[in-house]
A and B are shown apart, each in its own frame.
Chain A
Amino acid sequence: MAFLELQELTKSFGKTRAVERISLGVERGEFLTLLGPSGCGKTTVLRLVAGFEQPDAGHILLDQEEITTRPANRRPMGMVFQSYALFPHMTAEQNVAFGLRLRRLPPALIRQRCEELLALVGLAERARSYPHQLSGGQQQRVALARALAVEPKVLLLDEPLSALDAAVRVTLREEIRRIQQQLGMTVIYVTHDQEEALAISGRIAVMARGRLEQLGTPEEIYRRPRTVFVAGFVGASTRLSARLERAVEGRCRLDGILLRVPPQPELSDGSAVLLVVRPELVTLCQLNEASGAAADGGGQRQGQENVLLGTVELRTFLGAVTRFRVRAAGGQLFTVDLPGLQAGTLVPGQRVRLSFPPEACLVLPLEETGSGVTALPVPEWPAGTTGQPGPEREPQPEHA
């Protein structure tokens, strides 16, 4: 049994089902992130764990001990809030000391702990400052030190960085990770920022509409999303609805084009699937001097590679990579990232050849209802965007 166990947690607010039968285990010393779009119930899960809300059903066990109904102030949890929540009438040092004073530790020890913790978060010289004299990032550091002071068994952070600007967000998240590893702290971290989640987490629990969609390492979540929602929410991708023709051979049909995908022995022939292709796994090749099938990397895998023709519609420079929106001949939209110089002189309007290996295709079964395939969550490029499908957009429901 895991260090912290959530079992079938359910919580409704009136008619809103905020959390529905969430079960997950957090190991000692683990950094677990709850990731999901706004309103999916991340905060509610955290507040249930902290004891600020009572679940309608389900259990919370910490270190084999049932704490479901224990009041918040008697749970060994530390909490860091999005709004910092420092006590405005206390200095940084007094804020950190608050929990220790409640525990009636000797003053000398309290002073020493405060110094250590403020040094740990890099604020040793600001011990005497009041919260309103500190920047947002500094306030959040104090809040972190304050939560760590009482040596909680689990540290809960609810979007601690979302009120900060981008640069501070990155440094502070690295620092949170460093401190977590240094102290071997068990952490549950809430964010709706997938990049942050991928960068910082040991494991990620992706949530949608109150449910747990997938639990796994950042790599698993990114490379092997198990649901259509996860595939769409984490990272950019091209999503194509297709039909498996020969499941065991990994052949499927996309609007008349035959594509090779990894073999899908557990799926049946003829089932509707969603193909997910990450943009960095597709290569583009300029079609000019009629030498259609020529300039492709290796050539020995020519027979295996999936090849489509298309036209560049949009080019977006993202720094390390250049992102292209390419409309294939069949009308499908592809997102393609080319690193550095490979982007070359490709410009909108240019005819290109898209190619990607079968392994680049992730196959997700789509539910079928009655005659046809249910409404597909295949993303359209929202008009006027730079072409980054993903977390900024409201995720579409999986089925109507």
Chain B
Amino acid sequence: MRQTVSHWRGLLATRLALGLVLLYLLIPLGATLAFGLSGGHGWRGDLSALSAVFGDPDFWLTLLTSLGLAAGTTLLVLLLLTPTAYQVRLRLPQGRGLLETLALLPFAVPPIVLGTGLLQEYNGTAANSPLVVLLSLGLVPLLSNVFPLLDIPLLLVCSYVIVALPFAYRAIDNSLRAVDVKVLTEAAASLGAGWWQTLLQVILPNIWPGVLTAALLTFSTVMGELTLASLFNTYTFPIYLNMTGQNDPHRAALLAVLSFLLTLFCVLGIVPGSRLHAGAGRAALPGQIEGAGLR
């Protein structure tokens, strides 16, 4: 009897806490939306403010640029990190500490420093410095003679990869910890699976929540990044948002809500997909997907 009472009380407390958190998240969002739609003189029930946003060609241009950058970065991060984290867990468990430290380094370097450093390095003059030549195996000076390295989006994507590294690595490595990587790999190998088959068919489905979290964190990082983009002279959505905000705060508010919804849709697009993959793996790793904080 007392147990059921305390059970209900616990449930109620959970609900209450959840409700409060939702309010905390939704109230500012709703206020921003209201402010954006009002256009400065109270909302008159029309969506003219919205159509003005959609009518702006810069909106679409920057949005597509940012989506492209985000998608590229996410893809690169996952392709680089998932096999690496897996391989390190499997073959080089001593190397995990080092990798963890390396993955944390970008936290210590502010984007402005990272951006300035990259600019210095690749802008053609410093590109011929011995250190750069050595570290890039001679590629940087060679390529920078052919075309301006700074202007290709790939370099921006690469620096975004560095920025996203800490979150992404942590997310993936944490979910790998919940899986007995070594034994599962050996079991798969004894059944004839090669390295890639094991990664894709055995490991990945079991760490899917972590990979998903990594993807979301990377994606949203890029969608909101301002410093590097402006240093690299790329007209991205956050820059557009920033510029608009200086002239028209209402439109900026609307854009902020839109970018939130956009990210939300991306999340919702990926999550059902993950259900198919994860299957019972989710049951074994409860609550990891909530780590993304975006459901």
Contacts and interface: CB of A to CB of B under 8 A. Distances in A.
A132 B180 CA distance: 14
B281 A150 contact: no
Interface stretch (A82-90, A203-211, A265-273, A353-361): A82-90
A201 B193 CA distance: 30
Counting chain B residues whose Cβ lies within 8 A of the other chain, the interface size class is 20 to 34
Contacts of A147: 190-191
A102 B280 contact: no
Interface string B189-207: 1111110010001100110
A150 B186 CA distance: 15
B226 to A, nearest CB: 39
A79 B202 contact: no
A103 B191 CA distance: 9
A102 B191 contact: yes
Contacts of A143: 187
Contacts of B279: 89-90, 130
A38 to B, nearest CB: 19
B48 to A, nearest CB: 50
B183 A85 contact: yes
B193 A77 contact: no
A83 B197 contact: no
B281 A99 contact: no
B193 A73 contact: yes
A99 B280 contact: no
Contact of A99 (B179, B183, B192): B192
A124 to B, nearest CB: 20
Given A83-B180, A85-B180, A87-B202, A132 B280 contact: yes
A78 interface: yes
Which of A78, A88, A99, A147 is most buried by chain B, counting CB atoms within 10 A of its CB? Answer: A88
A241 to B, nearest CB: 45
A71 to B, nearest CB: 8
B22 interface: no
Contacts of A85: 180, 183-184, 186-187
A373 interface: no
B280 A130 contact: yes
A73 B280 contact: no
Interface in A47-103: 50-52, 71-74, 77-79, 81, 83, 85-91, 98-99, 102-103
Which of A73, A77, A89, A90 is most buried by chain B, counting CB atoms within 10 A of its CB? Answer: A89
A143 to B, nearest CB: 8
B64 to A, nearest CB: 36
B278 interface: yes
Contacts, number: 83
Contact of B186 (A81, A87, A90): A81
Contacts of A98: 188, 191, 193, 201
A73 B205 contact: no
Interface in A85-139: 85-91, 98-99, 102-103, 130-132
A130 B284 CA distance: 10
B184 A87 contact: yes
A146 interface: yes
B190 A77 contact: yes
Given A89-B206, A130-B280, A132-B280, A72 B183 contact: no
A87 B191 CA distance: 12
A99 B198 CA distance: 11
B187 A72 contact: no
B97 to A, nearest CB: 19
Contact of B283 (A71, A87, A90, A132): A132
Interface in A150-186: 150, 152, 156
Contacts of A91: 280
Contacts of A86: 187
Given A87-B202, A89-B281, A132-B284, A79 B186 contact: yes
A9 B284 CA distance: 39
Contacts of B192: 73-74, 99, 102-103, 150
Contacts of A78: 190-191
A88 B280 contact: yes
A150 B283 contact: no
Contacts of B194: 73
Contacts of B184: 85, 87
- A-B pairs, 8 with minimum CB distance: A89-B281, A99-B191, A79-B190, A130-B280, A85-B187, A72-B189, A73-B189, A89-B205
Given A87-B184, A91-B280, 7 more contacts: A50-B190, A71-B189, A83-B183, A86-B187, A89-B206, A131-B280, A146-B191
Interface of A: 50-52, 71-74, 77-79, 81, 83, 85-91, 98-99, 102-103, 130-132, 143, 146-147, 149-150, 152, 156
